[in-house]
A and B are shown apart, each in its own frame.
Chain A
Amino acid sequence: MKRLLALGILAALAATTTAAQSVQITGFGQMVAGTVSDGTSFPGTGYDSDWDFKNESLFALQVRGDLNDQWSATAQIVARGRDDFDPEFAWAYVGWNGGNGWSAKLGRQRLPLYRYSDFLEVGYAFPWLRVPNATYNLEFNNFDGASAAYGFGTGDWFTTLQGSAGRFEGDILLSGNPADAELASLVGVSAETIYADWLTLRAGYFQADVTITAAALTPLLTTLRTNGFGNVSSRIDYDNDPGTFWSVGAEVNRGNVWLAGELIGVKVDDAFLADRSEYYLSGGYRFGSWMPTLTWGRRDNEAKTDIVALLPNVAPLAPLRAATNGVVRAEDINSTYWSYGLRWDVANNVALKADYTRFEDKGFNARKSDAIAFGAVFSF
Protein backbone atom coordinates (compact mmCIF):
# COMPACT_ATOMS: atom_id res chain seq x y z
CA MET A 1 0.00 0.00 0.00
CA LYS A 2 2.74 2.39 1.03
CA ARG A 3 4.63 1.49 -2.12
CA LEU A 4 1.55 2.08 -4.28
CA LEU A 5 1.02 5.45 -2.67
CA ALA A 6 4.63 6.47 -3.25
CA LEU A 7 4.49 5.36 -6.87
CA GLY A 8 1.18 7.14 -7.36
CA ILE A 9 2.57 10.40 -6.05
CA LEU A 10 5.63 10.06 -8.24
CA ALA A 11 3.53 9.37 -11.29
CA ALA A 12 1.35 12.39 -10.52
CA LEU A 13 4.39 14.59 -10.08
CA ALA A 14 6.02 13.24 -13.22
CA ALA A 15 2.84 13.98 -15.17
CA THR A 16 2.90 17.60 -14.04
CA THR A 17 6.51 18.02 -15.23
CA THR A 18 5.36 18.43 -18.76
CA ALA A 19 2.72 20.93 -17.70
CA ALA A 20 4.99 23.07 -15.58
CA GLN A 21 8.74 23.25 -15.85
CA SER A 22 8.89 24.00 -12.15
CA VAL A 23 9.03 20.37 -10.99
CA GLN A 24 12.50 18.92 -10.56
CA ILE A 25 13.16 15.23 -10.11
CA THR A 26 16.60 14.25 -8.92
CA GLY A 27 17.84 11.05 -7.38
CA PHE A 28 20.68 9.21 -5.82
CA GLY A 29 21.54 5.76 -4.64
CA GLN A 30 24.08 3.11 -4.07
CA MET A 31 24.40 -0.61 -4.61
CA VAL A 32 26.77 -2.14 -2.10
CA ALA A 33 28.00 -5.69 -1.51
CA GLY A 34 29.54 -6.48 1.83
CA THR A 35 30.62 -9.24 4.15
CA VAL A 36 32.43 -9.92 7.40
CA SER A 37 35.68 -11.85 7.01
CA ASP A 38 36.71 -12.04 10.67
CA GLY A 39 34.01 -12.46 13.30
CA THR A 40 30.28 -12.95 12.92
CA SER A 41 28.82 -9.48 12.57
CA PHE A 42 29.77 -5.85 12.12
CA PRO A 43 28.01 -3.02 13.98
CA GLY A 44 25.64 -0.87 11.98
CA THR A 45 25.80 -2.85 8.74
CA GLY A 46 23.79 -6.03 9.23
CA TYR A 47 26.62 -7.98 7.57
CA ASP A 48 27.61 -11.52 8.47
CA SER A 49 30.02 -14.03 6.97
CA ASP A 50 27.93 -14.41 3.78
CA TRP A 51 28.06 -11.80 1.02
CA ASP A 52 25.13 -9.44 1.32
CA PHE A 53 23.83 -7.14 -1.42
CA LYS A 54 20.97 -5.40 0.35
CA ASN A 55 21.89 -4.00 3.75
CA GLU A 56 23.72 -0.90 2.59
CA SER A 57 22.04 -0.54 -0.81
CA LEU A 58 19.43 2.12 -1.41
CA PHE A 59 17.67 4.09 -4.10
CA ALA A 60 16.10 7.50 -3.62
CA LEU A 61 14.10 10.01 -5.60
CA GLN A 62 13.73 13.63 -4.65
CA VAL A 63 10.92 15.64 -6.11
CA ARG A 64 10.82 19.39 -5.74
CA GLY A 65 7.98 21.53 -6.98
CA ASP A 66 8.29 25.30 -7.01
CA LEU A 67 4.99 26.77 -5.85
CA ASN A 68 6.10 30.34 -6.55
CA ASP A 69 9.24 32.47 -6.22
CA GLN A 70 9.51 31.87 -2.49
CA TRP A 71 7.76 28.59 -1.71
CA SER A 72 8.55 25.06 -2.78
CA ALA A 73 7.51 21.54 -1.77
CA THR A 74 10.03 18.72 -1.53
CA ALA A 75 9.61 15.00 -0.99
CA GLN A 76 12.41 12.49 -0.72
CA ILE A 77 11.41 8.87 -1.15
CA VAL A 78 14.03 6.37 -0.09
CA ALA A 79 13.89 2.62 -0.73
CA ARG A 80 16.47 0.90 1.46
CA GLY A 81 17.66 -2.63 0.82
CA ARG A 82 17.52 -3.44 4.50
CA ASP A 83 13.78 -2.69 4.41
CA ASP A 84 13.43 -4.90 1.34
CA PHE A 85 13.42 -1.74 -0.81
CA ASP A 86 10.08 -0.69 0.65
CA PRO A 87 9.87 3.02 -0.21
CA GLU A 88 9.55 5.44 2.67
CA PHE A 89 8.98 9.17 2.73
CA ALA A 90 12.24 10.17 4.39
CA TRP A 91 11.43 13.83 3.85
CA ALA A 92 8.29 15.73 3.02
CA TYR A 93 8.38 19.43 3.64
CA VAL A 94 7.32 22.82 2.44
CA GLY A 95 10.23 25.18 2.02
CA TRP A 96 10.35 28.94 2.07
CA ASN A 97 13.18 30.99 0.64
CA GLY A 98 12.71 34.57 1.71
CA GLY A 99 15.82 35.96 0.08
CA ASN A 100 18.64 37.80 1.87
CA GLY A 101 19.80 34.46 3.24
CA TRP A 102 16.62 33.53 5.10
CA SER A 103 14.93 30.18 4.59
CA ALA A 104 12.65 27.83 6.48
CA LYS A 105 11.23 24.31 6.24
CA LEU A 106 8.06 22.88 7.66
CA GLY A 107 7.42 19.14 7.73
CA ARG A 108 9.48 15.98 7.87
CA GLN A 109 13.13 16.78 7.41
CA ARG A 110 16.63 15.80 8.38
CA LEU A 111 17.74 16.33 11.98
CA PRO A 112 21.10 18.09 11.46
CA LEU A 113 22.99 16.39 14.29
CA TYR A 114 26.21 15.75 12.41
CA ARG A 115 28.34 17.38 9.75
CA TYR A 116 27.14 14.82 7.20
CA SER A 117 23.56 14.46 8.50
CA ASP A 118 22.03 16.43 5.65
CA PHE A 119 23.37 14.05 3.03
CA LEU A 120 23.73 10.95 5.18
CA GLU A 121 22.39 8.65 2.48
CA VAL A 122 23.86 10.47 -0.49
CA GLY A 123 26.99 8.37 -0.89
CA TYR A 124 27.99 10.45 -3.87
CA ALA A 125 28.51 13.45 -1.60
CA PHE A 126 31.32 12.01 0.56
CA PRO A 127 34.47 9.97 -0.04
CA TRP A 128 33.79 7.07 2.35
CA LEU A 129 31.67 4.06 1.54
CA ARG A 130 29.81 4.69 4.81
CA VAL A 131 29.88 7.53 7.32
CA PRO A 132 32.11 6.61 10.30
CA ASN A 133 30.32 4.17 12.61
CA ALA A 134 32.16 5.57 15.61
CA THR A 135 29.92 8.64 15.71
CA TYR A 136 27.12 7.96 13.19
CA ASN A 137 25.32 5.37 15.27
CA LEU A 138 22.23 7.13 16.61
CA GLU A 139 18.89 5.87 15.38
CA PHE A 140 17.33 9.29 14.84
CA ASN A 141 17.95 10.91 11.48
CA ASN A 142 14.75 12.77 10.73
CA PHE A 143 12.18 14.76 12.66
CA ASP A 144 8.78 16.31 12.10
CA GLY A 145 8.69 20.00 12.77
CA ALA A 146 10.07 23.31 11.65
CA SER A 147 13.47 24.77 11.00
CA ALA A 148 14.72 28.19 10.04
CA ALA A 149 18.11 29.05 8.62
CA TYR A 150 20.02 32.24 7.97
CA GLY A 151 23.10 32.31 5.76
CA PHE A 152 25.39 35.28 5.41
CA GLY A 153 28.83 36.10 4.09
CA THR A 154 31.48 38.24 5.76
CA GLY A 155 34.67 38.56 3.73
CA ASP A 156 35.98 35.08 2.98
CA TRP A 157 33.62 33.46 5.49
CA PHE A 158 30.16 32.14 4.70
CA THR A 159 28.11 31.18 7.73
CA THR A 160 24.79 29.37 8.10
CA LEU A 161 22.87 29.35 11.36
CA GLN A 162 19.96 26.97 11.79
CA GLY A 163 17.38 26.44 14.48
CA SER A 164 15.14 23.36 14.57
CA ALA A 165 12.15 22.40 16.69
CA GLY A 166 9.77 19.47 16.56
CA ARG A 167 9.50 15.83 17.53
CA PHE A 168 10.53 12.35 16.43
CA GLU A 169 8.44 9.22 16.75
CA GLY A 170 9.49 5.90 15.33
CA ASP A 171 10.74 2.35 15.67
CA ILE A 172 14.37 2.01 16.66
CA LEU A 173 16.73 -0.60 18.06
CA LEU A 174 17.66 -0.21 21.72
CA SER A 175 20.77 -2.29 22.53
CA GLY A 176 19.71 -4.45 19.59
CA ASN A 177 16.07 -4.83 20.68
CA PRO A 178 13.10 -3.37 18.78
CA ALA A 179 11.66 -0.38 20.61
CA ASP A 180 9.23 2.52 20.23
CA ALA A 181 11.00 5.84 20.56
CA GLU A 182 9.80 9.38 21.00
CA LEU A 183 11.81 12.58 21.18
CA ALA A 184 9.45 15.25 22.46
CA SER A 185 10.12 18.98 22.79
CA LEU A 186 13.05 18.52 20.44
CA VAL A 187 14.95 21.76 19.90
CA GLY A 188 18.39 22.46 18.56
CA VAL A 189 20.73 24.90 16.93
CA SER A 190 23.59 24.36 14.54
CA ALA A 191 26.14 26.68 13.00
CA GLU A 192 28.40 26.05 10.08
CA THR A 193 30.95 28.37 8.59
CA ILE A 194 33.02 27.93 5.43
CA TYR A 195 36.26 29.82 4.94
CA ALA A 196 37.46 30.54 1.40
CA ASP A 197 35.69 27.39 0.14
CA TRP A 198 38.19 25.00 1.72
CA LEU A 199 37.72 25.03 5.49
CA THR A 200 34.40 24.10 7.10
CA LEU A 201 33.77 24.40 10.84
CA ARG A 202 30.57 23.22 12.45
CA ALA A 203 28.94 22.96 15.85
CA GLY A 204 25.52 21.77 16.98
CA TYR A 205 23.51 21.38 20.16
CA PHE A 206 20.19 19.55 20.52
CA GLN A 207 17.97 18.55 23.39
CA ALA A 208 14.76 16.55 23.79
CA ASP A 209 12.67 14.61 26.28
CA VAL A 210 13.36 10.99 25.47
CA THR A 211 10.88 8.14 25.90
CA ILE A 212 11.82 4.67 24.66
CA THR A 213 9.81 1.53 25.30
CA ALA A 214 11.46 -1.80 24.55
CA ALA A 215 9.49 -5.00 25.18
CA ALA A 216 12.73 -6.80 25.99
CA LEU A 217 13.36 -4.48 28.94
CA THR A 218 9.84 -4.53 30.41
CA PRO A 219 10.22 -7.74 32.51
CA LEU A 220 13.30 -6.38 34.28
CA LEU A 221 11.71 -2.99 34.94
CA THR A 222 8.52 -4.61 36.26
CA THR A 223 10.44 -6.96 38.56
CA LEU A 224 12.45 -4.06 39.94
CA ARG A 225 9.33 -2.02 40.66
CA THR A 226 7.35 -4.87 42.24
CA ASN A 227 10.30 -5.59 44.54
CA GLY A 228 10.44 -2.03 45.80
CA PHE A 229 13.26 -0.83 43.58
CA GLY A 230 11.27 1.75 41.65
CA ASN A 231 14.24 4.10 42.01
CA VAL A 232 16.46 1.65 40.09
CA SER A 233 13.77 1.08 37.46
CA SER A 234 13.43 4.82 36.82
CA ARG A 235 17.21 5.21 36.53
CA ILE A 236 17.14 2.58 33.76
CA ASP A 237 14.07 3.41 31.70
CA TYR A 238 13.71 6.24 29.22
CA ASP A 239 10.60 7.86 30.61
CA ASN A 240 10.43 11.42 29.33
CA ASP A 241 14.04 11.87 30.41
CA PRO A 242 15.99 14.95 29.29
CA GLY A 243 18.66 14.15 26.74
CA THR A 244 21.31 16.31 25.11
CA PHE A 245 23.49 15.96 22.05
CA TRP A 246 26.36 18.20 21.01
CA SER A 247 28.85 17.98 18.20
CA VAL A 248 31.79 19.87 16.77
CA GLY A 249 33.41 19.11 13.46
CA ALA A 250 35.79 20.36 10.83
CA GLU A 251 36.52 19.57 7.21
CA VAL A 252 39.40 20.67 5.01
CA ASN A 253 39.12 20.37 1.26
CA ARG A 254 42.14 22.09 -0.23
CA GLY A 255 43.80 21.14 -3.47
CA ASN A 256 44.14 17.39 -3.35
CA VAL A 257 44.07 17.16 0.43
CA TRP A 258 40.95 16.23 2.29
CA LEU A 259 40.62 15.99 6.09
CA ALA A 260 37.57 15.59 8.31
CA GLY A 261 36.89 15.07 11.97
CA GLU A 262 33.99 15.19 14.40
CA LEU A 263 33.57 14.92 18.14
CA ILE A 264 30.18 14.27 19.71
CA GLY A 265 28.69 13.88 23.17
CA VAL A 266 25.37 12.26 24.06
CA LYS A 267 23.75 12.18 27.48
CA VAL A 268 20.34 11.16 28.79
CA ASP A 269 19.62 11.83 32.47
CA ASP A 270 17.87 9.06 34.38
CA ALA A 271 18.24 6.41 31.69
CA PHE A 272 20.79 3.62 31.35
CA LEU A 273 22.41 5.16 28.28
CA ALA A 274 26.10 5.73 28.98
CA ASP A 275 27.51 9.22 28.76
CA ARG A 276 28.84 8.96 25.25
CA SER A 277 31.98 10.53 23.91
CA GLU A 278 32.74 9.57 20.34
CA TYR A 279 34.99 10.92 17.62
CA TYR A 280 36.74 10.20 14.37
CA LEU A 281 39.51 11.64 12.25
CA SER A 282 39.78 10.98 8.56
CA GLY A 283 42.17 11.98 5.82
CA GLY A 284 42.45 11.42 2.12
CA TYR A 285 44.41 12.49 -0.90
CA ARG A 286 43.09 12.93 -4.41
CA PHE A 287 45.12 11.32 -7.20
CA GLY A 288 43.15 12.46 -10.22
CA SER A 289 39.89 10.51 -10.08
CA TRP A 290 41.15 8.20 -7.30
CA MET A 291 40.92 9.02 -3.64
CA PRO A 292 42.17 6.75 -0.87
CA THR A 293 41.08 7.57 2.68
CA LEU A 294 42.12 6.45 6.13
CA THR A 295 39.75 6.86 9.07
CA TRP A 296 40.26 6.30 12.78
CA GLY A 297 37.27 6.32 15.09
CA ARG A 298 36.75 5.86 18.83
CA ARG A 299 33.75 5.27 21.08
CA ASP A 300 34.55 5.79 24.71
CA ASN A 301 31.36 5.32 26.68
CA GLU A 302 31.26 4.94 30.43
CA ALA A 303 28.42 2.80 31.69
CA LYS A 304 26.39 4.11 34.62
CA THR A 305 27.49 1.34 37.00
CA ASP A 306 26.23 3.35 39.97
CA ILE A 307 22.75 2.17 38.96
CA VAL A 308 23.72 -1.44 39.82
CA ALA A 309 25.16 -0.27 43.14
CA LEU A 310 21.68 0.90 44.15
CA LEU A 311 20.70 -2.77 44.61
CA PRO A 312 21.92 -4.31 47.91
CA ASN A 313 24.60 -6.93 47.29
CA VAL A 314 22.79 -9.81 49.01
CA ALA A 315 22.29 -13.38 47.78
CA PRO A 316 18.50 -13.26 47.13
CA LEU A 317 18.97 -10.23 44.87
CA ALA A 318 21.83 -11.76 42.89
CA PRO A 319 19.74 -12.60 39.77
CA LEU A 320 18.19 -9.12 39.73
CA ARG A 321 21.61 -7.52 40.14
CA ALA A 322 23.00 -9.69 37.34
CA ALA A 323 20.16 -8.71 34.98
CA THR A 324 20.51 -5.03 35.84
CA ASN A 325 24.27 -5.24 35.45
CA GLY A 326 23.87 -6.82 32.02
CA VAL A 327 21.65 -4.00 30.77
CA VAL A 328 23.76 -1.20 32.23
CA ARG A 329 27.17 -2.63 31.34
CA ALA A 330 26.13 -3.30 27.73
CA GLU A 331 26.65 0.45 27.37
CA ASP A 332 30.25 0.08 28.49
CA ILE A 333 31.81 0.51 25.06
CA ASN A 334 35.49 1.07 24.45
CA SER A 335 35.90 0.53 20.76
CA THR A 336 38.23 1.54 17.97
CA TYR A 337 37.60 1.57 14.23
CA TRP A 338 40.20 1.69 11.47
CA SER A 339 38.86 2.13 7.95
CA TYR A 340 40.75 1.96 4.69
CA GLY A 341 38.67 3.37 1.86
CA LEU A 342 39.01 4.01 -1.83
CA ARG A 343 36.80 6.08 -4.09
CA TRP A 344 37.13 6.13 -7.85
CA ASP A 345 35.13 8.71 -9.82
CA VAL A 346 34.39 6.84 -13.01
CA ALA A 347 32.11 9.58 -14.35
CA ASN A 348 30.73 12.93 -13.25
CA ASN A 349 27.87 11.28 -11.39
CA VAL A 350 29.03 7.73 -10.76
CA ALA A 351 31.72 6.58 -8.36
CA LEU A 352 32.95 3.17 -7.29
CA LYS A 353 33.94 2.68 -3.69
CA ALA A 354 35.64 0.05 -1.57
CA ASP A 355 36.09 -0.12 2.17
CA TYR A 356 37.79 -2.36 4.67
CA THR A 357 37.10 -1.56 8.31
CA ARG A 358 38.49 -3.27 11.41
CA PHE A 359 36.64 -2.88 14.66
CA GLU A 360 37.57 -3.86 18.19
CA ASP A 361 35.56 -3.36 21.37
CA LYS A 362 37.42 -3.79 24.65
CA GLY A 363 34.33 -2.95 26.71
CA PHE A 364 31.84 -5.24 28.51
CA ASN A 365 30.93 -7.18 25.37
CA ALA A 366 34.52 -7.44 24.18
CA ARG A 367 34.76 -8.54 20.56
CA LYS A 368 36.40 -7.71 17.28
CA SER A 369 35.45 -8.08 13.65
CA ASP A 370 35.89 -6.52 10.25
CA ALA A 371 33.81 -5.65 7.22
CA ILE A 372 34.67 -5.62 3.54
CA ALA A 373 32.37 -3.77 1.16
CA PHE A 374 32.32 -2.64 -2.47
CA GLY A 375 29.77 -0.46 -4.13
CA ALA A 376 28.69 1.91 -6.85
CA VAL A 377 27.18 5.26 -5.87
CA PHE A 378 25.38 7.61 -8.20
CA SER A 379 23.31 10.77 -8.38
CA PHE A 380 21.20 12.16 -11.16
Chain B
Amino acid sequence: MKRILTIAALALAAASPAFAGKVVVAANSSQAALDKAGVQAIFLGRTAQVGGQPAVVVFQKGPVRAPFESGVVGRAGAQLTSHWSRLVFTGRAKAPEDLADDAAVKAKVASTPGAIGYISDGAVDATVKVLFDF
Protein backbone atom coordinates (compact mmCIF):
# COMPACT_ATOMS: atom_id res chain seq x y z
CA MET B 1 0.00 0.00 0.00
CA LYS B 2 2.74 2.43 1.03
CA ARG B 3 4.73 1.49 -2.04
CA ILE B 4 1.78 2.19 -4.32
CA LEU B 5 1.41 5.60 -2.71
CA THR B 6 5.09 6.33 -3.20
CA ILE B 7 4.90 5.35 -6.85
CA ALA B 8 1.79 7.46 -7.32
CA ALA B 9 3.51 10.42 -5.71
CA LEU B 10 6.56 9.98 -7.94
CA ALA B 11 4.39 9.69 -11.02
CA LEU B 12 2.58 12.89 -10.09
CA ALA B 13 5.83 14.71 -9.48
CA ALA B 14 7.11 13.59 -12.87
CA ALA B 15 3.87 14.58 -14.60
CA SER B 16 3.96 18.17 -13.29
CA PRO B 17 7.52 19.47 -13.46
CA ALA B 18 8.07 22.66 -11.48
CA PHE B 19 7.68 25.46 -14.01
CA ALA B 20 9.92 28.46 -13.62
CA GLY B 21 9.14 31.70 -15.35
CA LYS B 22 9.77 35.41 -15.72
CA VAL B 23 7.66 38.53 -15.54
CA VAL B 24 8.38 40.54 -18.68
CA VAL B 25 7.74 43.85 -20.43
CA ALA B 26 8.82 45.17 -23.81
CA ALA B 27 12.59 45.34 -24.25
CA ASN B 28 12.45 49.14 -24.59
CA SER B 29 10.21 49.72 -21.53
CA SER B 30 11.53 52.09 -18.88
CA GLN B 31 10.01 49.98 -16.09
CA ALA B 32 12.61 49.01 -13.47
CA ALA B 33 12.90 45.49 -12.01
CA LEU B 34 10.16 44.53 -9.53
CA ASP B 35 10.07 42.63 -6.27
CA LYS B 36 7.30 40.12 -5.48
CA ALA B 37 5.14 42.81 -3.86
CA GLY B 38 5.53 44.99 -6.94
CA VAL B 39 4.44 42.14 -9.22
CA GLN B 40 1.46 41.41 -6.94
CA ALA B 41 0.41 45.06 -6.98
CA ILE B 42 0.28 45.04 -10.79
CA PHE B 43 -1.33 41.61 -11.25
CA LEU B 44 -3.93 42.34 -8.56
CA GLY B 45 -4.80 45.62 -10.29
CA ARG B 46 -3.54 48.03 -7.64
CA THR B 47 -0.85 49.69 -9.72
CA ALA B 48 -2.25 51.37 -12.79
CA GLN B 49 1.05 52.14 -14.49
CA VAL B 50 3.92 50.19 -15.95
CA GLY B 51 6.98 52.07 -17.24
CA GLY B 52 5.06 55.34 -17.04
CA GLN B 53 2.28 53.99 -19.29
CA PRO B 54 -1.24 52.83 -18.37
CA ALA B 55 -0.84 49.18 -17.37
CA VAL B 56 -2.08 46.45 -19.70
CA VAL B 57 -2.03 43.32 -17.54
CA VAL B 58 -1.63 40.10 -19.51
CA PHE B 59 -2.40 36.67 -18.04
CA GLN B 60 -1.94 33.47 -20.02
CA LYS B 61 -3.37 29.98 -20.12
CA GLY B 62 -0.10 28.04 -20.55
CA PRO B 63 1.47 25.72 -17.93
CA VAL B 64 3.33 28.66 -16.37
CA ARG B 65 0.01 30.06 -15.16
CA ALA B 66 -0.44 27.85 -12.09
CA PRO B 67 3.00 28.47 -10.51
CA PHE B 68 2.67 32.19 -11.24
CA GLU B 69 -0.81 32.56 -9.76
CA SER B 70 -0.29 30.46 -6.65
CA GLY B 71 3.40 31.19 -6.11
CA VAL B 72 3.63 34.89 -6.93
CA VAL B 73 0.20 36.53 -7.09
CA GLY B 74 -1.12 34.52 -4.13
CA ARG B 75 -4.56 34.05 -5.65
CA ALA B 76 -5.51 31.57 -8.31
CA GLY B 77 -8.33 30.45 -10.58
CA ALA B 78 -11.85 31.49 -9.60
CA GLN B 79 -10.59 33.58 -6.67
CA LEU B 80 -8.43 35.63 -8.99
CA THR B 81 -11.26 36.03 -11.53
CA SER B 82 -13.51 37.14 -8.69
CA HIS B 83 -10.92 39.68 -7.51
CA TRP B 84 -10.58 41.15 -11.00
CA SER B 85 -14.34 41.22 -11.57
CA ARG B 86 -14.53 43.49 -8.52
CA LEU B 87 -12.02 45.88 -10.06
CA VAL B 88 -13.37 45.83 -13.60
CA PHE B 89 -17.05 46.24 -12.73
CA THR B 90 -16.27 49.13 -10.42
CA GLY B 91 -14.37 50.86 -13.19
CA ARG B 92 -11.21 50.82 -11.05
CA ALA B 93 -9.19 48.87 -13.56
CA LYS B 94 -9.20 47.77 -17.16
CA ALA B 95 -9.96 44.10 -17.63
CA PRO B 96 -6.72 42.12 -17.93
CA GLU B 97 -6.06 40.16 -21.10
CA ASP B 98 -5.95 36.39 -21.04
CA LEU B 99 -3.82 35.03 -23.89
CA ALA B 100 -3.14 31.49 -25.02
CA ASP B 101 0.57 30.91 -24.46
CA ASP B 102 4.12 32.24 -24.15
CA ALA B 103 4.33 33.27 -27.81
CA ALA B 104 1.10 35.29 -27.66
CA VAL B 105 2.20 37.03 -24.44
CA LYS B 106 5.62 37.88 -25.89
CA ALA B 107 4.08 39.33 -29.04
CA LYS B 108 1.58 41.39 -27.03
CA VAL B 109 4.13 42.66 -24.52
CA ALA B 110 6.74 43.51 -27.13
CA SER B 111 4.24 45.54 -29.19
CA THR B 112 2.22 47.28 -26.46
CA PRO B 113 3.53 50.12 -24.28
CA GLY B 114 2.52 49.45 -20.66
CA ALA B 115 1.86 45.75 -21.24
CA ILE B 116 3.22 43.31 -18.66
CA GLY B 117 2.98 39.53 -18.71
CA TYR B 118 4.70 36.34 -17.60
CA ILE B 119 6.30 33.61 -19.69
CA SER B 120 8.21 30.41 -19.00
CA ASP B 121 11.99 30.60 -18.71
CA GLY B 122 12.65 28.97 -22.06
CA ALA B 123 10.64 31.59 -23.96
CA VAL B 124 12.70 34.61 -22.89
CA ASP B 125 14.45 36.36 -25.79
CA ALA B 126 15.69 39.82 -26.83
CA THR B 127 12.18 41.21 -27.53
CA VAL B 128 11.42 41.37 -23.82
CA LYS B 129 12.96 42.69 -20.63
CA VAL B 130 12.85 40.56 -17.47
CA LEU B 131 11.55 42.30 -14.33
CA PHE B 132 11.09 39.39 -11.96
CA ASP B 133 12.15 35.76 -11.65
CA PHE B 134 9.94 33.05 -10.18
A232 lies within 8 A of chain B by Cβ: no
Tell yes or no: B62 within 8 A of A by CB: no
Contact check, B81 vs A64: say whether CB atoms are below 8 A apart.
no
Chain B residues within 8 Å of A26, by CB: 88-89, 95
Q: Is A353 at the interface (CB under 8 A from chain B)? A: no
Does B48 interact with chain A (Cβ within 8 Å)? Answer: yes
How long is the Cα–Cα vector from A151 to B94 in the complex, in angstroms? Answer: 16
CA distance A288 to B77 in the complex (A): 11
Interface string of B47-78 (1 = CB under 8 A from A): 01100011000000000000000000011011
Residue in contact with A119 in the complex, picked from B41, B75, B86, CB distance below 8 Å: B86
Q: Is the CB of B46 within 8 A of A64?
A: no
Residue of A nearest to B88 (CB): A26
Asked if residues A197 and B44 are in contact (CB atoms below 8 Å), the reply is yes
| Contact between A69 and B53, CB atoms less than 8 A apart | yes
Which A residues between 71 and 111 are near B, CB-CB below 8 angstroms? 74, 76, 91, 93, 95, 97, 99, 103, 105, 109-110
Q: Across the interface, do A345 and B77 meet the contact criterion of CB distance under 8 Å?
A: yes
A234 to B25, CA, bound (A): 64
Q: Is B30 engaged at the interface, CB distance under 8 Å to the other chain?
A: no
Q: Which single member of A28, A105, A110 contacts B85 (CB below 8 Å)? A: A28
Main secondary structure of the interface of A (DSSP, over half): strand
Chain B residues near A109: list those with CB within 8 A: 91
* A122 beta carbon closer than 8 Å to chain B: yes
Given A24-B95, A26-B95, A97-B48, A125–B77 Cβ distance below 8 Å?
A: no
Please measure, in the bound complex, the distance between the C-alpha atom of A118 and the C-alpha atom of B93, giving whole angstroms.
13
Number of interface residues of A (CB under 8 A): 35
B90 located at the interface, meaning its Cβ lies under 8 Å from any Cβ of chain A in the complex: yes
Cβ contacts A189-216/B at 8 Å (1 or 0 each): 0000000010000000000000000000
Is A49 positioned at the interface, with any CB of B under 8 Å from its CB?
A: no
A125 with B91, Cβ < 8 A, contacts A99-B49, A158-B46, A351-B78 known: no
Q: Are A119 and B48 in contact (CB under 8 A)?
A: no
Residues of the A chain whose Cβ atoms lie less than 8 Å from the Cβ of B78: 289, 345, 347-349, 351
Q: Smallest Cβ distance from B132 to chain A, in angstroms?
A: 17
* Chain B hits for A369, CB < 8 A: none
- Which among B44, B89, B92 has the highest number of chain A CB atoms within 10 Å? B89
The residue in chain A whose Cβ has the minimal distance to the Cβ of B77 is A348
Contact string against B for A residues 212-245, beta-carbon threshold 8 Å, 1 for contact and 0 otherwise: 0000000000000000000000000000000000
Is A40 positioned at the interface, with any CB of B under 8 Å from its CB? no
Q: Answer whether residue A305 sits at the interface, using C-beta atoms and an 8 A cutoff.
A: no
A153 on interface, CB distance cutoff 8 Å: yes
Contacts of A347 in B (CB 8 A): 78
Structural contact, B94 and A122, CB atoms closer than 8 A: no
Contact across chains for B89 and A197 when beta carbons are under 8 A apart: no
Measured between beta carbons, the chain B residues less than 8 angstroms from A103 are 48, 92
Complex CA gap A1/B91 in Å reads 27
Q: Mark B91-122, 1 if CB is under 8 A from A, else 0.
A: 11011000000000000000000000000000
Of A66, A119, A345, A348, the contact of B89 (CB 8 Å cutoff): A119
Contacts of A158 in B (CB 8 A): 41, 46
* B86:A125 contact, CB within 8 angstroms: yes
Assembled-state Cα–Cα distance A118/B81 (Å): 16
Whether A118 and B77, one on each chain, are in contact in the complex, defined by CB atoms closer than 8 angstroms, is no
A99 to B77, CA, bound (A): 29
Within 8 A of B (CB), among A99-140: 99, 103, 105, 109-110, 118-119, 122, 124-126
19 inter-chain pairs at a CB distance below 8 angstroms, sorted by A residue, are A24-B94, A26-B88, A64-B91, A76-B89, A118-B86, A118-B92, A119-B85, A119-B89, A124-B81, A124-B82, A125-B89, A151-B46, A153-B46, A197-B40, A197-B44, A197-B74, A345-B78, A348-B77, A379-B81
* Known pairs A122-B89, A197-B75 / 9 extra A-B pairs, C-beta < 8 Å: A24-B95, A97-B54, A110-B90, A118-B92, A119-B86, A122-B86, A197-B40, A345-B77, A349-B78
Binding site for A on B (CB under 8 A): 40-41, 44, 46, 48-49, 53-54, 74-75, 77-78, 81-82, 85-86, 88-92, 94-95
